[in-house]
Structure 1
Amino acid sequence: MELRHLRYFKVVAELQHFHQAAEKLHITQPALSNQMKQLEEELNTALFHRVGRHVKLSESGAKVLEVANKILNEVDLLKEAVSDIESGQTGSLRIGVLQSINALYCREIVLEFDRLHPGIALHIEELSNRQIEQRLLTGDIDVGIGFILDKKYHHDLLFESLFSEAWKLIINHESAKYASAIMQGQPHPLKAVLLPEGFETRSVVDQFFEDHQIFTSKITEVNTISFILDLVENGMAFSILPEAFSRLNTSAKRREYDLSPAPKERQIGLFTVKDRLRKKSVEHFCTLIRNQLKQ
């Protein structure tokens, strides 16, 4: 049974005439009769009684018409709902963002998006860069705001760069005198406060330490940037972070220095999935992101 069987049947039932129904449907009467015969055979019942040139619904036909109307109405509603989703007026949108982007930019973006698109349920999830890529590929999120360094991202993903950011040495003002020693690989009393191993940011920092023989015998690992900054500001500690992270919780107690030599800047941008049908709401959100972040 196909939807066209139900649509043809509904027209015949309303007009009670095969010839008139065929004209309305723009098909031949034999073709219409054949379609109704297929429906009757599948349901194993007679749907019509012939009365002269007209037809009337059988008892089974009346029941089929009742159900057919419900099905066809639901199909029409489904079309309208999908149309609204594709036009960006309703539905849901799932976004994966980096910790720094979430803290620095998402508030204004979400407020503006909700103002422009009140019918769309927006879900923002703070994720690592690796999680953003994985969840895009599995379809768990619609768009991601992540970064690339030297690595190649998955071949099924698209990346649109929005801006680049340098890396900073973060230290409190009382320990600022050790900044030069840290960058020159000389001994110092400070502890490094870093993201745990497994974070892409941590791998860049570890490589920087190795390349420039920076002394890091003591390390504290925490998984939130705000905690890292708090420990640096209030203890004998330092950290190396991307510039966006260093702008969180700005404080007079903290000093920031450009790294010399500087690690390669990381590119912050939009991740989407290649060749996947993109909802209009994704385009609307990406436009807001570009307006907010692109340099």
Structure 2
Amino acid sequence: MIDITKLKTFVAVADLGSFSKASEMLYITQPAVTQQIKSLERMVGAKLFQRQGGRMVLTEEGKRIYELAKALLKDYENLVEEMAKIKKDFKDSLFVGISTTLSEYKVPELLVEFHSKMPGISIRAFVENSQQIEEGLSSGVLNIGIIEREPSEKFRAIRWFYDEIIFFTHPSHPFAKEGEIEPEDLYSTELIFREVSSGTRKVVKDELERLGVIFEKLNIKIEINCGRSILSMVKCGYGCSFLSKGLLEKDLREGNIVEVKIRGFNARRWYYIVFPDDSKTTFLANSFAKFLLSKTQENIIKDEERVNL
């Protein structure tokens, strides 16, 4: 087996042209340098150095080994450096921004599972809307984000999974008996919406405007940055709202709320895993992204979008 220490000594002698100078640079004795070079020569079966004008120079056999040895040592240094980074990363912290919707029904369980696979790390999760998460990535506060809309082009992004936003209300509401309503019927009821900067709100607003609804004329009585709070209000019998179907599935099954179709309404969106640019993407961020993708294999994610993970 090749000894890395002996290769370092060999390259040092070749670069400095002297056993004594190599011993000084490596902080070992000159006899130790001589012994290591002789050991390599026995392994090769040929002389590696010859004296020329008071300087040690490589033989033809030595020259053949020299470039390969330098490349191997460089690879070894890179390996040691990367291993040190990984060791640090496994004791480091992951700073992740999670969109409000996903923090309420999908991601918490995944965070627990990911941490169980890497128990040495700390996870710092921040629940924000999509705009705030992008700001956190730009400032360096966050390593990775999961947002509800297509991100700015300055970020590296991967589609994670497809989501549907539905319109729902309490079973006692007049709309519940209709089954399906016209878009203009929305003007006649009290509505609860997510805050202005919410990704959910933007998707719904764009879709309603596509159907001819004048968003500013809707009777929005309450705005709040929490989907579960909206759900609780509707379950109490107040108004109607739009939220991710995934968040509502349990209450839909139990009959606490009902979905109401709006003719022509089709609000679907991708959730995105978002990073800063490649130079700032951490080992933990990449590991978490791979983990998230492994949990949504049934969704269509383009191969080219996986390349840099």
Q: Which interval holds the TM-score relative to the shorter structure?
A: 0.5 to 0.7
CA distance in 1, matches of 2:23, 2:94: 44
**What is aligned with 2:222?**
220
Describe the SS at the equivalent of 2:133: helix
TM-score, structure 1 as length reference = 0.65
CA contact (8 A) 2:172 2:237 kept: no
**What is aligned with 1:190?**
189
Report deviation, 1:224.
1.1
Deviations 1:17-65 (A, max 9, x none): xx856425269xxxxxxxxxxxxxxxxxxxxxxxxxxxxxxxxxxxxxx
Are 2:95 and 1:97 aligned?
A: no
Alignment partner for residue 171 of structure 1, among 169, 172, 187? 169
**What is aligned with 2:41?**
none
CA distance in 1, matches of 2:220, 2:89: 51
Describe the SS at the equivalent of 2:263: coil
The worse-fitting range, judged by mean Cα deviation, of 245-254 and 188-197 is 245-254
Describe the SS at the equivalent of 1:212: coil
CA distance in 2, matches of 1:216, 1:180: 18
CA contact (8 A) 1:84 1:90 kept: no
**What is aligned with 2:154?**
156
CA distance in 1, matches of 2:167, 2:292: 28
**What is aligned with 2:121?**
120
**What is aligned with 1:229?**
231
Number of aligned residues: 223
CA contact (8 A) 1:166 1:264 kept: yes
CA contact (8 A) 2:193 2:222 kept: yes
Report deviation, 1:290.
1.1
Ranges in structure 2 where 5+ consecutive residues have no aligned partner: 1-18, 28-79, 300-309
Are 2:284 and 1:262 aligned?
A: no
Describe the SS at the equivalent of 1:267: strand
CA contact (8 A) 1:147 1:267 kept: yes
The worse-fitting range, judged by mean Cα deviation, of 271-280 and 200-209 is 200-209
CA contact (8 A) 2:94 2:284 kept: yes
CA distance in 2, matches of 1:143, 1:227: 26
Report deviation, 1:121.
1.2
CA contact (8 A) 1:137 1:156 kept: no
**What is aligned with 1:110?**
111
Ranges in structure 1 where 5+ consecutive residues have no aligned partner: 1-18, 28-78
Question: How is 1:283-294 mapped onto 2 (pairs within 5 angstroms)?
Answer: 283-294=286-297
Alpha-carbon distance change, 86 to 262 in structure 1, aligned in 2, over 3 angstroms: farther
Describe the SS at the equivalent of 2:180: helix
Question: How is 1:32-181 mapped onto 2 (pairs within 5 angstroms)?
Answer: 83-85=84-86, 88-149=89-150, 153-175=151-173, 176-178=176-178, 180-181=180-181
Describe the SS at the equivalent of 1:148: coil
Deviations 1:100-124 (A, max 9, x none): 2122222322222222211111111
